[in-house]
Structure 1
Amino acid sequence: MGDTGNIGGKGNTRTTGTTGTTGTTGKIDHDAVLRARVLLLGSGRLSLWQEVGAYRVLAEVSPRAYLPKLVGALVTQSYQVEDPASALALTEEAASAARRLDAGTPNGTELRRRALGAYERELFAAGRRDEGRAVCAELAAAGAFGRLATVLAEEGRHAEAADLYERHVGSTGGEVSDWTLIEWAGVLDAAGRTERALEVFGRLVEESRRRTAADRGPVASLVWELHHYAGMLLAAGRHAEAAGVRRDALGLLDRLARGGEPVSWSNIQASWVTLFTLSGREDEPAATSDAPLPDFGRYLVHGWSPDVREAWFASVHRLEQRADGLRASGDLPGLLSVHRRLTVRRALLGESRGRPAVAALLPSYDEGVALARRLPGSPSVLARALADRAMFLLAVKRYGDARRDFADAVTLLDDPVSPMSHPTSPE
């Protein structure tokens, strides 16, 4: 097709402002425009780089027609390059172009959100949290508040995150997804707004009860939610209510042990791993802007910041070394705490790689129970370890085993002077 100038040159990641058709004189480079049009009208299949180059040129002379195409192509290309610096430059250009879209551009709002979302993702991956947070605030101003809420929670600013949920979700009175209710309750609880957190999570439980009663929701998910809700009630000092909720969960496990799920469901383990992760927040240090931690109530693939995700999984080796030291020193309480933190991370690693494998994860839960049995006079610690294992066994559909562990946990909590509290034989 002949020389196309700078159109489609691979590696060309310069921003729109520096790759124009007007040059320094302010005049349109009609040859560049013609080459771009011929390239797009040709019969040959273009590479994405060639499309990006052509759209860059034409977006300056026909922005209404070509700016949307440029934004989409830049974002798509950013996912395909391997060099982080190139991906960041592409998304920065996409964000700049998206901000120039006319208010009436078809799908303009979605395009802006997509471009800004890709840009903030690359900023966080590059460790530029302040700039990434600013882009998330820009998205929140346009109604997409979820990422800003996550970023604030990652930095320990849970009250601000909770305020965002109240403003965008709490005042609408409309339908709210299960995921949003978990996230919302999680930041409320972390912000110390205990009663409001119980109200929001209780709403999730009641909606799940209705769905399950009509066979429109998995029984297992309701069990996980009831177990978490009971823990929230217990932490709030509402012991009788917590005991009632635990009994409800045990009744559902009885039902599953007898006949399994009445309806086949796929991909429900995400609920288990998210609630298990949320239960581990109290074992972690406080998050700060300098040392961010995950937004524990948010599912792993629903918006963890790249820098936080990388640091979280990188901490596995450090915690394993710490556990070895505690094991050697005989510090059993310290070892139990670190071991559970490791188990949460291993469960998330399994989720990030697909679904949890029994052979890979069950030993962590078994060890947690064995360690708890060695700690004298601590029925609540053993109950927690047994319940952790029960919820995992439920996730892998070993209903009878899950019911047995959870029944033992309920006995320990309801009757802390039971002989089970002081076992003498190892697990």
Structure 2
Amino acid sequence: MPHTEGAESRGNVADTGKTDQDAVLRARVLLLGVEHLGTWERVLAYRVLARVSPRAYLPLLVDALLERGYELDDREVRVRLFAEAADEALRMDGDVSEARVGRALGAWERALFAAGRRAEGRAVCEELAGSGAYGRLAKVLAEEGRHAEAAGLLGRHLGQEGTDASEWELIEWAAELDAAGRREEALELFARLVAGRRSEAAAGRAPLASLVWLVVQHAGMLRAAGRVAGAAAARQEALTVLTRLARDGEPVSWSNIQAWWVTLFLLSGRPEEPAATPAAPMPPFGAHVVHGWSPDAREGYLASVPSLEREVAALRGSGDLPALIAVHRRLVLRRALRWETSGRRAAETLLPCFDEGVALARGLPDGHPVLARALTDRAMFLLAVKRYAEARRDLAEAVVLQGGSARPVSPMSHPTSEE
């Protein structure tokens, strides 16, 4: 069997009902005769043997195709390998193939998005949704600005009685309802999410930090909807929980839940971003930043960093402080995504960005709401890196600026969408 990858195309054994017995023999000898066989050699061998012993070798072929694809940087070659893996997975017997089919189809559609072939990737997601795996299609619709469709799709599945939706699914659904203009439903759903996390935290089954992030996001949603009293109560609850963290520390051990923070932080910035379209997709804000975004949407979002940096530099000398603050925050949102996904978790790599945001906001007239937002942004990041006392100080100042009290309430207030 030749060791030539070329364009990593399919093997020479056609599925015509007649298999070259010499090729089968060479494949078996290759597998038996080499102790450490490379991925490509295994692909070539399994392609032949899967035609004569599909039950034994189709799973191995699918796994080898996926492994080989992930080894390569060429996006079009990766698309071809993953497409083949999906085809082969679909040939396997039902029960044993379900997980592999999902992995192969998922790899294929993401490779299509990464290669800029969004329409084809969406078609694969639509096929998956027809089989019940609707989550990816909802995110793809959101990336294209089709929020009403995304909200409807999520609602048809997650809104069914007895459905055990995860918190991530509820966040995503609420975000799409809000983006689709269904604000009251979004508030009601998010209030349910906060109540659930509040109960879990009270029972010691969830970290208090994640409750603070959710309550602060809820406060922002309530304020945007004109629910002044509800927003104030939510901010006061967040301060109460953060005061407890500053005094006693986190009662629940956690090591890596920063994705909660950055996902909600990026969601808070959606109103300032351009509207998404199929031709110019944006991230599905509200979806998990690591597992939820399509590659092209992520790359496009981060590709704007240099232009935003240039815009910030130009605005520094313009005297237009509100414009500078707005563009600076969009830049910080993207840097936060990089911080979360790059593995560089030292607070000092990102904290100066939040410090600058607060310093810029302090240059505005007294009482300007942007300062409260900048302080809240920094507080939520400090919470993510477990600097609770500093986070508490920032949030307390933000609460006072918005007419609240720096003293935590007791017991906690429980704002709802009705407040």
Stretches of 4+ aligned residues off by more than 4 angstroms: none
Q: Determine whether 1:36 maps to 2:35.
A: no
8 Å contact kept, 1:21–1:29: no
The CA deviation string for residues 333-387 of structure 1, in whole angstroms up to 9 with x for no partner, is 1111101101111111111112543222122112111221222255321111111
Count of residue pairs the alignment pairs up: 405
8 Å contact kept, 1:154–1:294: yes
Alignment TM-score, normalising by the size of structure 1: 0.90
1:398 corresponds to which letter in structure 2?
R
Q: CA deviation at 1:12?
A: 6.1
Q: Name the SS of the counterpart of 1:295 in structure 2.
A: coil
8 Å contact kept, 1:14–1:93: no
Rounded to whole Å, the distance in 1 between the matches of 2:64 and 2:262 is 35
8 Å contact kept, 1:21–1:33: no
Q: Determine whether 1:80 maps to 2:71.
A: yes
Give the superposed CA RMSD. 1.9
Rounded to whole Å, the distance in 1 between the matches of 2:63 and 2:161 is 31
Q: Name the SS of the counterpart of 1:414 in structure 2.
A: coil
Alignment TM-score, normalising by the size of structure 2: 0.92
- The answer for unaligned runs of 5 or more in structure 1 is 417-427
1:344 corresponds to which letter in structure 2?
L
Residue 420 of structure 1: aligned partner: none
- The answer for unaligned runs of 5 or more in structure 2 is 406-419
Residue identity over aligned pairs, in percent, reads: 61
Structure with higher RCO (Cα < 8 A, 6+ apart): 2
Q: CA deviation at 1:37?
A: 2.8
Residue 15 of structure 1: aligned partner: 10
Matches within 5 A, 1:139-288: 139-288=128-277
8 Å contact kept, 2:239–2:395: yes
Residue 369 of structure 1: aligned partner: 358
8 Å contact kept, 1:372–1:385: yes
Rounded to whole Å, the distance in 1 between the matches of 2:257 and 2:18 is 59
The CA deviation string for residues 293-330 of structure 1, in whole angstroms up to 9 with x for no partner, is 11111122113111111121121110010111122211
Rounded to whole Å, the distance in 2 between the matches of 1:272 and 1:21 is 51
1:27 corresponds to which letter in structure 2?
K
Rounded to whole Å, the distance in 1 between the matches of 2:404 and 2:110 is 49
Q: Name the SS of the counterpart of 1:287 in structure 2.
A: coil
Residue 120 of structure 1: aligned partner: 109
8 Å contact kept, 1:156–1:286: yes
Gap change, CA 1:146 and 1:352, over 3 Å in 2: same
Q: Determine whether 1:351 maps to 2:346.
A: no
2:232 corresponds to which letter in structure 1?
A
Q: Determine whether 1:338 maps to 2:333.
A: no
Residue 90 of structure 1: aligned partner: 81
Q: CA deviation at 1:60?
A: 2.3
Q: Name the SS of the counterpart of 2:402 in structure 1.
A: helix
Among candidates 385, 397, 401, match of residue 412 of structure 1: 401
Rounded to whole Å, the distance in 2 between the matches of 1:22 and 1:339 is 58
1:184 corresponds to which letter in structure 2?
W
The CA deviation string for residues 273-301 of structure 1, in whole angstroms up to 9 with x for no partner, is 11101101011010111111111111221
